Amino acid sequence: MRTEEPRAIRLKDYRAPDYKVSKISLDFVLSPEATRVTALMTVARTGVLAPLVLDGEHLKLVSVALDGRVLGTEDYAVDAETLTIDKVPEHFTLEIVTEIAPAKNTSLEGLYLAKGIFCTQCEAEGFRRITYFLDRPDVLAVYTTRIEADKALCPVLLSNGNPIAGGELPGGRHFAVWHDPFPKPCYLFALVAGDLGVITDHFITMSGRKVDLRIFVEHGNEPKVLYAMDSLKRAMKWDEEKYGREYDLDIFMIVAVSAFNFGAMENKGLNIFNDKVLLASPETATDDDYAHIEAVVAHEYFHNWTGDRITCRDWFQLSLKEGLTVFRDQSFSADQRSAGVKRIEDVRLLRLRQFQEDGGPLAHPVQPQSYITIDNFYTATVYEKGAEVIRMLKTLVGEDGYRKATDLYFERHDGQAATVEDWVRCFEDTSGRDLSQFRLWYVQAGTPVIEARGAYDPGQKTYALTLKQSLAPTPGQPVKKPMHIPVRLGLLGKAGRALPLTLEGENAQGPEERVLELTDAEQTFTFVGVDEAPLLSVGRGFSVPATFKVTQSGWERAALMAHDPDSFNRWEAGQTAARTTMLDAISGKVSGPDPLYVEAVGEVLARAKDDMAFAANMLTPPLESEMAMAMTVVDPDAIHAARLTLIRAIAAAHGEKFAALYDSLSATGTFSPDAASAGRRALRNACLRYLTAADDDKAAALAAAHYEAATNMTDMIAGLATLTRMVSPRADAAFAHFYNRFAKDPLVIDKWMGLQAGSSRPDTVERVRTLMGHAAFDIKNPNRVRALVGAFSGNQLRFHAADGRGYALVGETIRTLDKINAMVAARMAGAFETWRRFDDGRQALMRHELETMAKTPGISSNLFEVATKMLG
Ligand code: PHE
Ligand code: ZN
Gap from CA of 152 to ligand 1 centroid (Å): 31
**262 CB less than 6 Å from ligand 1?**
yes
- Whose CA is closest to atom 1 on ligand 1? 265
Question: Closest ligand 1 atom, CA of 261?
Answer: 10
**Of 109, 300, 357, 833, which is the active-site residue?**
300
The whole-number pLDDT of residue 845 equals 98
Confidence of residue 4 (pLDDT cuts 50, 70, 90): low
Helix 386-413, helix 226-243: angle, nearest 10: 70
Q: Is a pLDDT exceeding 70 seen at residue 637?
A: yes
pLDDT for residue 129 is more than 60: yes
Confidence of residue 157 (pLDDT cuts 50, 70, 90): very high
CB count within 10 Å of CB 662 equals 19
Strands 110-114 and 251-257: unpaired
CB 358, CB 546: distance < 8 Å:
no
Rounded to the nearest angstrom, the distance between the alpha carbon of 160 and the centre of ligand 2 is: 18
Q: What are phi and psi of 576, to 5 degrees?
A: -65, -40
Closest CA to 487 of 457, 462, 451, 461: 451
C-beta of 261 in contact with ligand 1 (< 6 A): yes
Among 112, 122, 123, 383, the mutation site with the greatest number of ligand 1 atoms within 8 A of its Cβ is 123
What is the distance in angstroms between the CA of the first residue and the CA of the last residue of the chain? Answer: 23
Q: Is 780 exposed, middle or buried (0-12, 13-18, 19+ CB in 10 A)?
A: middle
Residue among 166, 171, 96 nearest 127 (CA): 96
DSSP 8-state class, residue 582: H
Q: How far apart are CA 99 and CA 32, in angstroms?
A: 11
Which ranges constitute the DSSP H helices of 28-169?
none
218 is catalytic: no
Regarding predicted confidence, which is higher, 5 or 564?
564
Is the shortest distance between the CB of 308 and ligand 1 below 6 Å? Answer: no
On the question of pLDDT at 108 being above 60, the answer is: yes
For the stretch 305-344, what's the b/e string if a residue is b when 16 or more beta carbons lie within 10 angstroms of its beta carbon?
bbbbbbbbbbbbbbbbbbbbbbbbbbbbbbebbbebbbbb
Q: How many whole angstroms from 122 Cα to the centroid of ligand 2?
A: 13
- Tens-place pLDDT, residues 339-351: 999 999 999 999 9
- What percent of the chain has pLDDT above 70? 99
Q: What is the pLDDT of residues 258-310, one digit of tens each?
A: 999 999 999 999 999 999 999 999 999 999 999 999 999 999 999 999 999 99
Residues forming a β-bridge with 52: 85
Percent of the chain with pLDDT over 90: 98
Question: How confident is the model over 777-787, as pLDDT tens digits?
Answer: 999 999 999 99
Nearest CA to ligand 1 atom 2: 265
Residue 3 has what pLDDT?
47
Q: Whose CA is nearest to atom 11 of ligand 1?
A: 123
Q: In this model, does residue 2 exceed pLDDT 60?
A: no
* pLDDT tens profile 846-864: 999 999 999 999 999 999 9
pLDDT at 547 over 60: yes
Closest ligand to 315 CA?
1
Mean pLDDT computed over every residue of the chain: 97
Three-state SS for 664-698 is HCCCCCCCCCCHHHHHHHHHHHHHHHHHCCCCCHH
Q: Tell me the per-residue pLDDT of 169-204, one tens digit each, with 9 for 90 and over.
A: 999 999 999 999 999 999 999 999 999 999 999 999
Least Cα distance to 672 among 232, 275, 287, 231 occurs for: 287
C-beta of 318 in contact with ligand 1 (< 6 A): no
Count other C-beta atoms under 10 Å from residue 811's C-beta. Answer: 24
The phi and psi torsions of 501 (rounded to 5 degrees) equal -110, 95
**Can you give the pLDDT at residue 656?**
98
Q: What would the pLDDT profile of 373-393 be if each residue is shown by its tens digit?
A: 999 999 999 999 999 999 999
Q: How far is the CA of 783 from the centre of ligand 1 (A)?
A: 15
| Cα 695 to chain centroid, rounded | 33
| pLDDT of 797 over the 70 cut | yes
